[in-house]
Amino acid sequence: MFIQMVDYKIKKRKDSILSKKSVEQKPSQTAMFTALYRVVAHKEFKNQRFGSDYLAEHFLPAHFKFFIKFKKIRAKTKMKFNKFVPGMYEYMLARTAYFDSIFKDALSNNIPQIVFLGAGYDTRAYRFAPLNNTTKIFELDIATTQNRKKKCLKKARIDIPKQVTLVPINFNKEALTNVLENAGYKNDTKTLFIWEGVSYYLEPESVDATLTFVTHSLHEESVIAFDYTISISPENMDNYYGVKKVTESIEKHHPDERFKFTIDEGKIESFLDQRGMKIIRHMDNREIEQTFLLNENGSLLGQITGHFRFAMASPNPKS
């Protein structure tokens, strides 16, 4: 999200990711920086636990690919991350590991359908293709991001598996139901919905619309896995690692990317219940760290920005 913080002294180009065009007219800037986090992690750790995304590099601009090769520049990049967005790098490590585990588990259990709601430059369908026997995968995102993704995959000579369908959607104008069903999605089939790194950028009405769509799935064992942020008042931000600085950095550098949606701490179960869903699993920041950020010797790799949470939920047939 914060290209100003990555001190590469790169000149803007016409197709710069800082273009002032609307989100529907340009590839996702947020998706680009998610890829950057993952590339840094892969080059630093080179293992499945902390740096599993070995394909993310293919989605970076050429100048990013060049500079990120150098260890000193990666170290400087991490310093910038820690200074301006403390805990975000660690959160990306944990988030990637969390959704990796959910995705692989779904494939091993031969869940018939997986839907990525806002796929960006997600690579799981390609990294874990050998594990996929019969699961149909639908990647939803805006056409500009998907078109760039396809170009990058082609350039890297990475084939799109036959089970994978890239589905362009204008989230502001098109209904999920219509777009997915036209792509071959079956509403009466057990489905895993992956909603990663999206909810906090949406208006509450858009969050409700997405959850309503999942609630109306005709298979009660369908699951949505997502992350979200809790509501924190300004006077309490210092009690949550990194939240105050991250909030200030977003306000200063990218006010158009303010977090718009939060849930009061401890209210996730009632929030979902009111929307016809039941909680299956929930993790707060401490649980996330202890589950996904422990080194082999048991020490903690680092803290995540303290307002992030993980959740899994299913339609509640009793509602």
Contact 278, 220 (CB under 8 A): no
**Is residue 13 assigned to a domain?**
no
**Is residue 108 assigned to a domain?**
yes
**Is residue 6 assigned to a domain?**
no
CATH assignment of the domain containing 61: 3.40.50.150
Phi and psi angles of residue 79, each rounded to the nearest 5 degrees, phi first: -60, -40
Side-chain half-sphere of 20: how many Cα atoms within 13 Å? 0
* Domain span holding position 224: 23-315
Residue found under tokens 């699951």 = 223
Domain count, the chain: 1
**Is residue 1 assigned to a domain?**
no
Query: Tens place of pLDDT for every residue, the chain, 319 residues?
Result: 433 434 433 333 333 333 344 555 566 678 888 899 999 999 988 777 888 999 999 999 998 888 888 889 998 988 988 899 999 999 999 999 999 999 999 999 999 999 999 999 999 999 999 999 999 999 999 999 999 999 999 999 999 999 999 999 988 788 899 999 999 999 999 999 999 999 999 999 999 999 999 999 889 999 999 999 999 999 999 999 999 999 999 888 888 788 999 999 999 999 999 999 999 999 999 999 999 999 989 999 999 999 999 999 999 887 6
**Is residue 201 assigned to a domain?**
yes
Among residues 284, 200, 34, the alpha carbon closest in space to that of 292 is found at 284
Residue type (1 letter), 317: P
**Is residue 178 assigned to a domain?**
yes
Residue found under tokens 């396809």 = 150
Alpha helix (H) ranges present in 183-265? Answer: 204-215, 243-253
**Is residue 7 assigned to a domain?**
no
Pairing outcome for strands 308-315 and 113-117: unpaired
**Is residue 254 assigned to a domain?**
yes
Classify residue 175 by its DSSP letter: -
Distance CA 285, CA 255 (A): 25
CA distances 181 to 115, 176, 187, 269, 273, Å, are 12, 8, 8, 29, 26
Residue found under tokens 């991250």 = 246
pTM, whole model, 2 decimals? 0.90
